[in-house]
Amino acid sequence: MAGVILKDMDKTYPNGFKAVHGHNLEIRDGEFMVFVGPSGCAKSTTLRMIAGLEEITGGECLIGDKVVNEVAPKDRNIAMVFQNYALYPHMTVYDNMAFGLKLAKYPKDKIDKRVKEAAIILGITDLLDRKPKEMSGGQRQRVALGRAIVRKPEVFLFDEPLSNLDAKLRVHMRVELTKLHQQLKTTMIYVTHDQVEAMTMGDRICVMELGVIKQVDDPIKLYNEPQNKFVASFIGSPSMNLLEGKLTEEAGKTYVTTADLKLRIPEEKAKKVRDYIGKDIWFGIRPEHIETDETAKDKEDNYATVEISVVEQMGSEIFTYFTAGTDQQTARLEPGAKVEAGKKCKLWFDTTRCHIFDKETEENISL
C-alpha cells in the first residue's frame, strides 16, 4: 500500500487553458479520499493525472515515495474503476477479471486464486461463467471492482463508478464500497459530483472548484466549519441558506441585517467579526437551524415572519421553502410543524450556528 502526494501539481492544455491550479494534497496510506465538486472543477482530470492518463504539466505526483510524473500508467501499481464498467462483452466474468493478470504473465494457479478470492469478497462467485450482457448494472460494477482487486494495487482510483446505477442500487453499492475499503485497507481515491456520496464514504473530502482545492477535511468538520462560501453552499442537502447583508452594532450588540431579516449575533461570534461592523457580508445558516416559533417559544429574539411558498412532507421531516432576499431559502422542520404553503409563518433563526463570510474574499470570518 502507499499514500499519494501532490506537490504544486498543474495541468495546462496546449491551447493555454489551465485546468488544475497548483494542487497540494497528501492522501494518507490506507485512506479513503473523495474528490467532490461540480462539473468542470477538474476532479476527474486530477484523478487521471494520478493514474498517468493525463500529462502533468507542472509540479509532482508521488505514489509512495516515488515521483511518477514520467512513469507509464501500467507501471504505477494503481487500478482504476470507471463509470461505464469497461468490461469486455465477449468474455466471461472470470476472464474479464483475469485479463490483466494474464497480460502480466502471472501463472495460471495464481490467477485462479486471486480471481476466486476477489469473487468471494464481492459475492459474485456464482457469476464467474456469465457474460456482461447477462448481468445487471450492479453486478457489472462488482465485476469491474473485481478486476481491480485481483491486481492488488497500492492505490485504487474510482471515477464516478456509481453514476450509471439507479438510486436504490447506488445506496447499496455505496455501503458495499465502504465495507470493501474497511476489508482491504488500501488507499482509495474516489471522484463524485454527489456530495451525499462524499459525506457518507470519505475519511476525508477534497472539495474543488474550477481547478482549485477549496478545502480538505473530514466530513463533519467540512459540514460544520466550511472555510469559505463555496464549500458552505456545496456541502449539505438541502444546501446552506445564504443571504447578502451587513453587520451592524446597536447598544453594544451585533446584528446581521438583510433585506428581510434582522438577527442578533451571539457575543462569542460577534467578537470574531467585530472588524467587519458596517461592512457587507454573506450570512449563512443551515436549514436545520431554523425552527417555527412554536418549537422555539422560549427563545428571546431572532424571529422573522415569512411567507411559505412550498411545503414538502418527507415523513421524518418537513422541507419548507420561503423567500428571503432575492433567493429561495429552506427550513428543515420537525414532522408535524404547522406550516402551510401560501400562508405566513413566524420562524426562529439559531444564530449560534450561523456563518458569516467576507463579501469580497468569501472566506468564513466567523470560525
Q: Is domain 4-234 in CATH 3.10.20.30, yes or no? A: no
In the block, residue with C-alpha cell 410543524:
337
Domain locations in the chain as residue ranges = 4-234, 241-358
Residue 342's pLDDT band (cuts 50, 70, 90): very high
The predicted structure's pLDDT at residue 217: 98
The pLDDT tens digits of the residues spanning 268-301 come to 999 999 999 999 999 999 999 999 988 766 777 8
Candidates 73, 109, 181, 186; CA nearest to 98 is 109
Query: In the structure grid, which three cell numbers stand for residue 16, read together?
Result: 493555454
- Tell me the average pLDDT across 143-155: 92
CA distance 236 to 287: 9
The predicted structure's pLDDT at residue 18: 97
Query: In the structure grid, which three cell numbers stand for residue 310, read together?
Result: 412550498
The phi and psi torsions of 162 (rounded to 5 degrees) equal -105, 5
In the block, residue with C-alpha cell 451587513:
246
Q: Is 233 exposed, middle or buried (0-12, 13-18, 19+ CB in 10 A)?
A: middle
Measured in Å, how far apart are the chain's first and last C-alpha atoms?
36
Q: Is domain 241-358 in CATH 3.40.50.300, yes or no? A: no
CA distance 172 to 160: 15
Instruction: Give the CA angle between residues 335, 202, 87 to the nearest 5°.
Output: 110
The predicted structure's pLDDT at residue 7: 98
Q: What is the pTM assigned to this prediction?
A: 0.91
